[in-house]
Amino acid sequence: MDVRDLSLAPKYIEHFETQGIESLYPPQEAAVEAGITRGERVVAAMPTASGKTLVAQLAMLSADGPALYVVPLRALATEKYDTFAELPDVSVGIATGDYDADDESLDEHDIIVATSEKVDSAIRNGANWVEAIACVVVDEVHLLNAHGRGPTLEITLAKLRRLVPDQQLVALSATVGNAAEIADWLDAELVRSTWRPIDLRTGVYDDGEVTFDDGTTLSIVPGDEPPTTALVADTIDDGGQALVFVNSRREAETLAQSLGVHGFRQAPDVAAEIGTGATTSTGQALAEAADGGVAFHHAGLRPEHRSIVERAFRERDLAVLCATPTLAAGVNVPARRVIVRDHERFTGDGYEPLPILEVHQMFGRAGRPGLDPYGEAMLVATGVDADALCEQYIGTEPERVESKLDSREALRTHVLATLAGGFAGDRAELDALLASTFFAHQRDAAELTDLVDEVLSYLDATGMIRRDDGLVATDLGRLVSRVYVDPLTGAAVVEALGTAATMDRVTTLTVLEIVCDTEDMSTQYVRTEEAGRLSEFAMRNADQFTKPVHDFEGNFQSWLATVKTARLLDDWIAGVGLPELDERYGVAPGDIRRLAERAEWLLSATEVIAEHLLTGPTPGIGAGQDSETEYEPVLERLRETRQALLDAADD
């Protein structure tokens, strides 16, 4: 089917044609036949690079009103935003940043790109654009499987369905085994395809040879080099590019460094572009590797560097990218050869094999249509049995997508949000909402009963809900839900604010400690050699902390991670530069920015909670008449610190 045959406005047809899209790929055609342009609900399970974005665009452009495109990751949001913004006369909005903002202006757009957290937050805040949405597209719906993010997505989809029952839904998925189950849950038709725009062979490298699934082999003799280097060099000699997946940022950097010296390609311009303003060791290492046509790509990179690297690789100025698995999840950076060097990942408890789905998504990045004659992807068997590796990953079916809603963390947050948002006013209504989730579809909502009981008791005990007449969120509960923090964070903040309100000295460090000591903050790892210094620092500044440093109850070592994070942010506010911070704390620049952003968000949430404590008595904390005199200085310090973080980010 040609794009011209679609009942689309000519300007859109022209737009697609100028992009080289003239006829539909077979799975796209199947999606059209299933009714994506007629408002039908469809789940499209197709391989990486088989053109899911066009499927989404066709649905959104044919919809009878504004469309919402839900992405799992912020990095993907920007990429999709850029793609949709090129559509003629289409206004696109993006919502990924503030967790609690009630972006009224979003209702002016034809397409809104948002993370599932942002949609969840908009629903909690009663944003008016949500109910106007005629078509929702969910990208990477198989991430229903993910801890944390998955439950948010399924609850959000259940709520959207409740709010706008006749809304069109198009869900895009990797080719997972139980896509039919997802489609069934969503009352959608399933379009399932394994078609790819370019041939792909996958295999395992072992002892000088890659054995592919199509029976072919490739002989690679590494000489003195590690096999990965030989595999990279081989495809570059042949005119291709290579994408190597490793399991940690450090490995990505080290590998890029060692490959960079081979000078596969001269890319002085890219190096110079990165080098300008690259003041940190990460930036300098990146510039150095780029000079030899190699780069690394991981979540610790600054966003500017990330986009330079992605662009330069697409334009073939770079020959090799050494990446952590984050790159596999959707960023469109294909290469002729994909080498999965590490197939295990450190989880904190030890090494675990990568999920099949993840490896297949890495494989899916192999082959650039129009540029490469084929794609080839391989695992490297070093120190493991090649046959076992082959059996596990080659030609196998990915894991089933399984709901992760039966978790205390997920239910704590979503039960509160469901009550606070008016989706349920008693237990029966709460159970009814839970019965419409993917979990209930797959298993049985009754399995959640004990956890829900436990969560309700917790929310009651912390003053976030009342259970006297049905189930009602209190003012505090509604606030906690609206500012989008975990109820544990809400409770911790209420308690810490209460302590701070009695302290003589409330400083930037005090309020940073409050927000860093919460469930929603990702605190930093404390190296052994740091622990002593940090604990000394804590002792010296004991009067500024809400926790009794000299008389600590609980895990002091883990609280030191809070101190480290608070101190690092305090330094950043005071003007200490990224390279210096990297040196002092061993935290990469990209991470510092992320921490600062998170702290800024948590400070604003804490501010809202502090204002609430200031103005009214709250059950369980006994803030009384003279609360004003106590909370005012804390509130002021919160505002100042947040502003200082924003200023530091601008510098």
The Cβ of residue 574 has, within 10 Å, a number of other Cβ atoms equal to 10
Residues linked to residue 242 through DSSP beta bridges, in sequence order = 320, 337
Q: How far is the CB of 325 from ligand ADP (least distance, A)?
A: 16
Residues 354 to 393 in contact with ligand ADP, rule: CB under 6 A? 369
Q: Per rule CB under 6 A, is residue 21 in the interface with ligand ADP?
A: yes
CB-wise, 49 or 635, nearer to ligand ADP?
A: 49
Q: How far is the CB of 581 from ligand ADP (least distance, A)?
A: 36
Binding piece for ligand ADP, criterion CB under 6 A, among 22-30, 122-130, 211-219, 465-473: 22-30
Q: Per rule CB under 6 A, is residue 8 in the interface with ligand ADP?
A: no
Residue 370: phi, psi to the nearest 5?
90, -20
Cα 63 to the center of its chain, rounded Å: 27
CB-wise, 300 or 367, nearer to ligand ADP?
A: 367
Residues 243 to 262 in contact with ligand ADP, rule: CB under 6 A? none
Q: How far is the CB of 225 from ligand ADP (least distance, A)?
A: 32
Q: Per rule CB under 6 A, is residue 53 in the interface with ligand ADP?
A: yes
Binding piece for ligand ADP, criterion CB under 6 A, among 20-28, 30-38, 88-96, 481-489: 20-28
CB-wise, 18 or 219, nearer to ligand ADP?
A: 18
CB-wise, 316 or 427, nearer to ligand ADP?
A: 316
Q: How far is the CB of 182 from ligand ADP (least distance, A)?
A: 17
Q: Is 156 exposed, middle or buried (0-12, 13-18, 19+ CB in 10 A)?
A: buried
Q: Per rule CB under 6 A, is residue 52 in the interface with ligand ADP?
A: yes
CB-wise, 1 or 230, nearer to ligand ADP?
A: 1
Residues 243 and 44: their CA atoms lie apart, in Å, by 27
Among 30, 36, 48, 241, binds ligand ADP (CB under 6 A): 48
Among 19, 216, 248, 615, binds ligand ADP (CB under 6 A): 19
Q: How far is the CB of 48 from ligand ADP (least distance, A)?
A: 4
Q: How far is the CB of 373 from ligand ADP (least distance, A)?
A: 16
Sequence-ordered list of residues with C-beta below 8 angstroms from that of 227, at least 6 positions apart, any chain: 205, 220, 380, 382
- DSSP annotation of 601: H
Binding piece for ligand ADP, criterion CB under 6 A, among 16-24, 245-253, 287-295, 401-409: 16-24
Q: How far is the CB of 79 from ligand ADP (least distance, A)?
A: 9
The Cβ of residue 288 has, within 10 Å, a number of other Cβ atoms equal to 18
Q: Is 268 exposed, middle or buried (0-12, 13-18, 19+ CB in 10 A)?
A: middle
* Residue 483, helix vs strand vs coil: coil
Total number of residues binding ligand ADP (CB under 6 A)?
Answer: 16
Cα 436 to the center of its chain, rounded Å: 25
CB-wise, 28 or 324, nearer to ligand ADP?
A: 28
Which residue type occupies 585?
Y
Beta strands in 292-444 (DSSP E): 294-297, 320-323, 337-340, 344-346, 351-353, 375-380
Q: Which of 239, 236, 305, 294 is nearest to 267 (CA)?
A: 294
Among 13, 15, 25, 256, binds ligand ADP (CB under 6 A): 25
In the structure encoding, which two tokens stand for residue 631, read together? 């909370």
For 303-319, the DSSP string reads: HHHHHHHHHHHHTTS--
- DSSP annotation of 477: H
Q: How far is the CB of 14 from ligand ADP (least distance, A)?
A: 15
Q: Which of 208, 213, 240, 211 is nearest to 225 (CA)?
A: 208
CB-wise, 314 or 345, nearer to ligand ADP?
A: 314
Q: Is 551 exposed, middle or buried (0-12, 13-18, 19+ CB in 10 A)?
A: exposed
Residues 420 and 481: their CA atoms lie apart, in Å, by 7
Residues 630 and 614: their CA atoms lie apart, in Å, by 8
In the structure encoding, which two tokens stand for residue 602, read together? 């948590």
Residues 54 to 73 in contact with ligand ADP, rule: CB under 6 A? 54
Q: Per rule CB under 6 A, is residue 51 in the interface with ligand ADP?
A: yes
Binding piece for ligand ADP, criterion CB under 6 A, among 21-29, 277-285, 301-309, 600-608: 21-29
Binding piece for ligand ADP, criterion CB under 6 A, among 41-49, 62-70, 259-267, 459-467: 41-49
Contact 543, 507 (CB under 8 A): no
The angle, 0 to 180 degrees and rounded to 10, between the axes of the packed helices 149-163 and 116-124 is 50
Q: How far is the CB of 197 from ligand ADP (least distance, A)?
A: 6
Residues 510 to 549 in contact with ligand ADP, rule: CB under 6 A? none
Contact 16, 53 (CB under 8 A): no
Q: How far is the CB of 329 from ligand ADP (least distance, A)?
A: 11
CB-wise, 369 or 470, nearer to ligand ADP?
A: 369
* Residue 93, helix vs strand vs coil: strand
Binding piece for ligand ADP, criterion CB under 6 A, among 17-25, 271-279, 475-483, 497-505: 17-25
Q: Per rule CB under 6 A, is residue 24 in the interface with ligand ADP?
A: yes
Residues 294 and 258: their CA atoms lie apart, in Å, by 9
CB-wise, 195 or 346, nearer to ligand ADP?
A: 195
CB-wise, 39 or 369, nearer to ligand ADP?
A: 369
Binding piece for ligand ADP, criterion CB under 6 A, among 15-23, 109-117, 247-255, 408-416: 15-23
Residues 422 and 420: their CA atoms lie apart, in Å, by 5
CB-wise, 196 or 598, nearer to ligand ADP?
A: 196
Site string for ligand ADP, 323-352 (x = CB under 6 A): ---------x--------------------
In the structure encoding, which two tokens stand for residue 153, read together? 């997505």
CB-wise, 28 or 437, nearer to ligand ADP?
A: 28
CA distance from start to end of the chain: 52
Residues 216 and 195: their CA atoms lie apart, in Å, by 20
Q: How far is the CB of 3 from ligand ADP (least distance, A)?
A: 7
Residues 541 and 534: their CA atoms lie apart, in Å, by 11
Residues 367 and 332: their CA atoms lie apart, in Å, by 11
Q: Per rule CB under 6 A, is residue 173 in the interface with ligand ADP?
A: no
Answer yes or no: is 167 a known binding residue. no
Q: Per rule CB under 6 A, is residue 20 in the interface with ligand ADP?
A: yes
Binding site residue list: 28
> Which residues contact ligand ADP by CB under 6 A?
19-21, 24-25, 28, 46, 48-54, 332, 369
Binding site residue list for ATP: 28
